[in-house]
A = this chain, B = another copy of it.
Amino acid sequence: MTDKTDVLIYDTTLRDGTQGERVNFSAEEKLRIAQRLDEMGFHYIEGGWPGSNPKDMRFFELGKRVRFKNARLTAFGSTRRPNVRVEDCENIQTLLAADTPAVTIFGKSWDLHVTDILTIPLEENLAMIRESVAYLKANSKEVVYDAEHFFDGYKRNRDYALSTLEMAWTAGADFLVLCDTNGGTLPHELTEIVTHIRKILPEAPLGIHVHNDGDLAVANSIAAVHAGVTMVQGTINGYGERCGNADLIPIIANLQIKMNRRCLPDASVRQLTNLSHYISDVANIPPQNSRPFVGRSAFTHKGGVHVSAILKNSAAYEHIKPELVGNQQRVLVSDLSGKSNIEYKARELGIDLGTKDAMSTKIVKRIKIMEDEGYQFDAADGSLSLLMKKITGEFKEPFVLECFNIINAKTENNPSLTQATIKIVVGDEEELTAAEGNGPVNALDNALRKALLKFYPQISEVHLIDFKVRTLEGADGTAAKVRVLLDSRDDEEVWSTIGVSTNVIEASWHALVDSIQYKLCKDKLNKHHKED
């Protein structure tokens, strides 16, 4: 497919991405990711630095057994060590041992690094570059040459930086990748420098590899393509050390959707939202809602004024169609909310408000009152749909609370012991039970589930995945109002519920009950639908 492609996408999530502080993948996870990227049509997948750690070597072992449809697997390493013969250099030999079709080696472009850090003569560095590239080519590898610190080197000693590039090129490198390793280069500087390189080495296929220290990595990558670069290196979700690498997702979306530079099949671009969430799941790093193109909030609209307009004409308020990247439009109900929000939301949640807007007016009134009390439904779809169903009469309480008691006992420096007792009524049956927990809310949660389980076995499918507490008016110290946000999930979906009170236990109770009620209520609905 390369022939149809304008820009080659080179993913280094598995190598440079894992330099990020909390990013870790097992060799097996790496393989799963590599296969996913291959299916989507990524052109190069940098699997790791076999010389630097054994886990990476294991990945390449696994990789040998896999046939990749689109991607070329590449192993990363440095040029040969100073003052050794290239064939005797362990780094270089492990690169060959990785047995990948392509190999990526980085060399020093910045004289300061050669003289002050490697502390070798500038000529020796040039020899390291030349011999390493030539040797790998002689071993019939495709060679990607990463010019480390290129932009800083160019600014500090242009001639030397250029001579390192020319050295790699004349030695036979297939790509010269200009790296902004410290991530501090500004787009207009970068454009100027890349343009100059294109003039000097018109034949050489160029690549770009930038970091995000100036919050400019995506802009710099696009600017480089605009200036004639044909390979972009980056990571999914911009994982990487310090402020991260260039995030391939917005780069691909901007290039392909806005600049008409073909990177991946359109079908794969529609998978970007999926891919982003998949990678954060595997890395176990919570996805960022505000992430451009693929974040949960990327096409979320707030405020009554807007919403009616959005329903009229999405293009007026969205820079692209969310579907193009596999994302979707969402509307929040906020304290600027109007009836149109509610009606939109009701449709989204599949709730029938009837034809006349008496119902939505009633709902807006109720929401405004609750928002004055500190409720906030932006992030609590579950509670919102329950509220609507309660007002429209669609909802029947699955249980009634008679009472609960929570005891937290602490002696000296021992951890607290926490127990909860609860008594509920379902139909005409009473249930009294007790449970312990890590804390008062956890104990209450455990007791409530225990009490409900015999009536509603599906409760066991509900998992609480996030629990957030926010103080509303700090001014009252420990007497302040708190807002509890709870994210729950079952096998089908994730829902959020909310509770507000001056008592964190009360607030949590309301959020817990909403979460359980939402689950029971939607299951009834599904059952109902199946019966139709």
A residues near B, CB below 8 A?
19-22, 24, 26, 28-29, 52-53, 55, 110, 112-113, 116-117, 149, 182-184, 186-188, 212-216, 218-220, 222-223, 226, 238, 241-244, 247, 250, 253-254, 258-259, 284, 286, 289-293, 295, 297-303, 309, 312-313, 315-320, 332, 335-336, 376, 378-379, 400-413, 415-416, 418, 437-442, 444-445, 463-475, 477-480, 482, 486-488, 501-506, 508-509, 512
Contact = CB atoms under 8 A, between A and B. Distances in A.
Contact of A112 (B313, B403, B440, B506): B313
A408 B405 contact: yes
B222 A117 contact: no
Contact of A226 (B188, B254, B318): B188
Contacts of A242: 290, 297-301
Given A19-B302, A212-B292, A406-B407, 13 more contacts: A113-B309, A116-B313, A214-B258, A241-B301, A243-B298, A405-B408, A408-B503, A439-B504, A442-B502, A463-B477, A467-B477, A469-B470, A469-B482
Given A226-B188, A243-B298, A216 B218 contact: yes
Contact of A336 (B53, B216, B226, B440): B53
The DSSP consensus for interface residues of chain A is: mixed
Nearest to A251: B215
A302 to B, nearest CB: 6
A256 to B, nearest CB: 13
B320 A184 contact: yes
Given A117-B309, A319-B213, A187 B187 contact: yes
A53 B335 contact: yes
A379 B187 contact: no
A24 B376 contact: yes
Nearest to A473: B26
Contacts of A411: 402-403
Contacts of A440: 406, 408, 440, 503-505
Contacts of A28: 475
Nearest to A218: B215
Given A407-B406, A474-B286, A475-B465, A213 B298 contact: yes
A410 B300 contact: no
Contact of A319 (B110, B113, B184, B332): B184
A410 B415 contact: no
Contact of A478 (B29, B226, B437): B437
Contacts of A218: 214-216, 219
A289 B504 CA distance: 27
A220 B309 CA distance: 26
Contacts of A317: 182
A336 B412 contact: no
17 contacts: A21-B332, A21-B378, A117-B309, A149-B316, A212-B290, A212-B292, A215-B292, A216-B218, A216-B250, A242-B299, A242-B301, A404-B410, A440-B504, A440-B505, A444-B478, A445-B478, A466-B480
A468 B471 contact: yes
Nearest to A113: B316
Given A247-B215, A408-B406, A416-B506, A254 B186 contact: yes
A402 B414 CA distance: 10
Nearest to A404: B410
A505 B471 contact: no
Nearest to A239: B290
Query: Which of A26, A215, A226 has the most chain B CB atoms inside 10 A of its CB?
Result: A215
A462 to B, nearest CB: 10
Contacts of A26: 472-473
Contacts of A222: 186-187, 216
Contacts of A184: 258, 319-320
Nearest to A247: B215
A472 to B, nearest CB: 8
A506 B415 contact: yes
A312 B115 CA distance: 12
Contacts of A29: 474
Given A53-B336, A258-B214, A290-B242, A412 B407 contact: no
A21 B186 contact: no
Nearest to A220: B219
Contact of A505 (B216, B219, B298, B408): B408
Contacts of A408: 405-406, 408, 440, 503, 505
Contacts of A512: 478
Contact of A407 (B320, B407, B464): B407
B244 A290 contact: yes
Contacts of A442: 477-479, 502
B404 A478 contact: no
Nearest to A181: B317
Nearest to A219: B219
Contacts of A214: 218, 250, 253-254, 258, 292-293, 319
